[in-house]
Every structure is written in structure tokens, then in C-alpha cells.
Structure 1
């Protein structure tokens, strides 16, 4: 049994101009200890899919799926109270832009303590010790002092580490990392990726990595889902995806990598328009 299984996920938003289909029948599955990458350009529905899983989309969104299970539990039938026992504890998410995700009015210690109070039976001293342990694990220097800092007193890389500490505080079975290296310099990106993969490996977590960086995919993923405009173009193990992609869109993505460039100009999706349109139609028919 898969840790997470989602079949035919659809998300529709009610807008002033009518219904907007953000996701159109995508499938995901994640095993314990597996790293799944979801790739695609901005607007392809990567984050929307995971926010739908977390139950964090606004009231204007309509979410439907033929199947949405976590450890065999049907997430579609859970009450709000039941969902709160799973989300944040067994399923956790690292959001984009850590500085915007952390509350500027509260210290790092307060925000970590809030998670532990909600999802564990630890007393105050145990929670403090756990906070120090978490900040040490994610590489925050002088954790006893830094835990009293506010987000604006920390660098972008440190805020990202705090977000990882919050997300892993209750040792989740599934961790979702949404563009975890965005807006970080190259050395910090490498440190954050190493930290995530180490935590995933040490705790046997399933990890979903949302990214548009194919280098990150090659370095971290076991399997890859490729999306375009809310539709699923291809699912493959990482080696097959890079060596023998089946979707014209995936081929376009890989051809646009600077190291794969063969001419004076990087190719674009427009260069693959004819074959890409045919491939998209084929994928849609296959799902139906």
C-alpha cells in the first residue's frame, strides 16, 4: 500500500470570469522513503495540487478526486477536526518564501512551540529541549540564543531552516517541499537540499519536491511527475526521464537546459508546438 495515493485530482476556482480549471485529472503516488519530484513551469498546478492535499485552498476552490488516501485513510471523508490530527503532524509542508510564511510578530521558539503543543503531549521543558534539538539538526548556530529571534532578525537561509524545523518537528511520514531553494544563493541551496535529503533518509519519510529546477530533480528524485497547464504530461523514474523522455513537453524542458544547448539560441515550447500539441491531446485521451 502506497503512503500517499491520489487519482484523478481536479481543482476548479470560481472567478468573476467563470470557472478556472487549475488541475485536470492528475495522479500521484508516494512510497515511504521515496522522493517524488513534481516539475513544470509556473502556473502548471504544482503547488495547487499539494495545497489541495493539505486542505489549504480558499473557499473559491472546488476539489474532487476519485481517490485521495494517506496510509489507507480516505482524506476526502475526514472532518476538519480529524484532518487537523493528520495535517501538520503526519503530513507536513515547507512553503515557498519562508520569510512570508513565518509570523513576524512571534519568535522562532514560539512558532515551534505552537506546533509541538498542538500535536504532542510534551510538557514545557520537553518542548524546549525538542526546539533546541530541531534547530541544531537544521544547522542553526547557537540555538538557545537564536530561538528567541524574530524572523526579520534572521537571513533567508536561516528562515528556510526554521521552516524545515517546524515542518519536521513531529517527525512526519510525508514531507512536501514547495520550491525550498527559491531566492537562496547557490551555496545555501546546496545546504538546504542536503539537509532535506538527509532528514528524509534518516527518518524514512516520503518526500515530495516541487520545483522547476531540473538540476534539483536529477540530484534528489527517485521518480518525476511532469505537469503543464494543470495536466500531467509524464511520470517516470528519474533516469528514464532524462535519458528517454516520452512527452514532447518533457523533451522541450530538457532541451532548454543550457548544458543541452546545441545552437546559438535556447529552444522554447514554441519550437515544439506541433509535436507538443499532439502529445498533449494524446495524454488527455489516455487519461479519459
Structure 2
């Protein structure tokens, strides 16, 4: 049974010009212990799709799907209180901007312990001990002392490690990583990716890696979903995608990698859509 299964997800937002469809009929699934990458340029609906799963979109958003099931439970049929018991515990998400995602008014220790209090009901001593254990697991030095630090007193890489600690605090079945290395320098990016892969293997989690970086896809994923302008263009295992891409958009993404440059300039997406359509070569599955 799939850990997460989505069929025909549609997300729309009200604008001054009418309803804008940010996600248009996306279907995907992820199994236990599997790493699924969702790849595409900015604005392709990757993050919005997963925020819909988490129930974190604003109330003005219209979310519909033929199916949105987690571990056999229909997420769309759950009440807000029922979903809150799952989100943060069984499904956790790491966001793009670690510093912005942490509350500047509270210490990192308080924020980690709040997750443990709300979802697991642990007492004060148990929460502190678990928080130290989590900071140790994600590689924060002097974890006991760091519990009293505020986010602004930590580097971007350390804040991202704190976010990861909060995400894995309750041993989730599914971890969603939304471009977790975007705001970090290259050296720290590698460390964070290695940490996520290590934790995913150790805890046996399913993981969804949202990214626009094809290098990250190659290093971390088992399967890949390619999105463009809210639609799924292609889905394949990672080796097949790199060796035999089927959609024009996927070919354009791969051709734009510097290592694949063959002339005096990198090709653009428009080079692959020469018939004038925005998504030339219909989406394939």
C-alpha cells in the first residue's frame, strides 16, 4: 500500500482576474522507505501541491482531488483537528527558509519541545532529553547549551538542522523536504543532503524531495515526478529519467545543465517548444 497517494489534485486561488489554477490534475504516490523527487522550475506548483497535502494553504485556496490518502486515510475527509494530529507527527515538512520558518521570539529548545509536548504529551524532563538527543542526531555541537539559543544566534545551516530535528522529532512516516538547501552555501548544502539521506535510511521514512536542482535528484531520489506550470509532465525512476527522458520539458531541464552544454550557450525551454505551445509534447506518464 502506498504511504501517500494523490490522484487528480487541483489547487486554485482567487485573483483579481478570476480563479488561477496553480496545480492542474497532478497525481503521484510515494511508498514506505522510498525517496520521491518532485522537480521543476519556480512556479511549477511543487510546493503548493505539498502544502495542500499538509493542509497549510490559506482558506481562500480551493483544493480538490479524486483521492488524497495518507497511510490509507482520506485526508480530505478529516476535520481540522484530526489533520493537526497527523501533520507534524506522521507527516512532517522542512521548509525552504530555515531562519524565516523558526519563531524569532522563542528559543530553539522551546520550539522543539513544543512539538514533543503537543504530539507526544511528554513531560518537561523527557522533552529536554529528547530535544538534546535530536540536536545531537542532526549534528549540532554542544546541544544542551544550544537549546537556549534564539534562531538569530545560529547560522543558516544550524537553523536548517534545527528544522530537521523538529521534523523528525516524532519519527514521522513521511518527510517532505521543500528545497531544504536553497538558502545555504554549497558546502552546507552537501552536508544537509547527506544528513537527510542518512536520517531517511535510519528511520525508514518515505521522503518527498522538492527541488529544481537535477543534481539533487540524481543523488537522492528513487523516482522522479517532473512538473511544469502546475501539470505533471513525466514520472519515471531516476535512471530512466536521466537516460531516456520522454517529455520535452524534461529534455529541456536536462539539456540546461552546464555539463550537457554542447555549443556557445545553454539551450532554453523555448528551444524545445518550437511548435509554439507552452507544453509541446503532451505530458507523459
TM-score range, shorter chain: over 0.9
- Structure 1 residue 275, shift from structure 2 partner: 5.8
Query: Which residue of the partner structure matches residue 14 of structure 1?
Result: 14
Contact 1:93 1:178 in 2 (8 A): yes
Is 2:272 the counterpart of 1:272? yes
Give the whole-Å Cα distance in 1 for the aligned partners of 2:280 and 2:265: 25
CA distance in 2, matches of 1:279, 1:181: 28
Asked whether the equivalents of residues 197 and 220 of structure 2 are also in contact (C-alpha less than 8 Å), the reply is yes
Task: For 1:158-237, list aligned pairs within 5 A.
Answer: 158-237=158-237
Q: Do the aligned partners of 2:99 and 2:152 also contact (CA within 8 Å) in 1? A: yes
Alignment check: 8 A CA contact 2:247 2:282 kept: no
TM (normalized to structure 2)?
A: 0.98
State the shift of 1:59 in Å.
1.5
2:248–2:281 CA contact under 8 A, matched in 1: no
**What is the deviation of 1:27?**
0.7
Contact between 1:249 and 1:276, CA under 8 Å: does it hold in 2?
no
Do the aligned residues in 2 keep the contact of 1:233 with 1:280 (CA within 8 Å)? no
Q: Which residue of 1 aligns with 2:262?
A: 262
The 2-side partners of 1:74 and 1:276 are apart by 40
Contact 1:138–1:161 (Cα < 8 Å) also in 2: yes
1:72 aligns to what? 72
> Are the counterparts in 1 of residues 273 and 279 from structure 2 also a CA contact under 8 Å?
no
The C-alpha deviation readout for 1:61-112, integer Å capped at 9, x for no partner, is 1000000001110001001111111111000000110000000000001100
Range moving further from structure 2, 270-279 or 152-161: 270-279
The secondary structure found in structure 1 opposite 2:170 is coil
- 8 Å contact kept, 2:273–2:280: no
Is contact 2:12–2:62 with CA below 8 Å preserved after alignment? yes
SS in 1 for 2:277: helix
Q: How does 1:1-288 map to 2 (within 5 A)?
A: 1-274=1-274, 277=277, 280=280, 282-283=282-283
Looking at secondary structure, tell me which structure has more helix per residue: 1
Q: CA deviation at 1:272?
A: 1.0
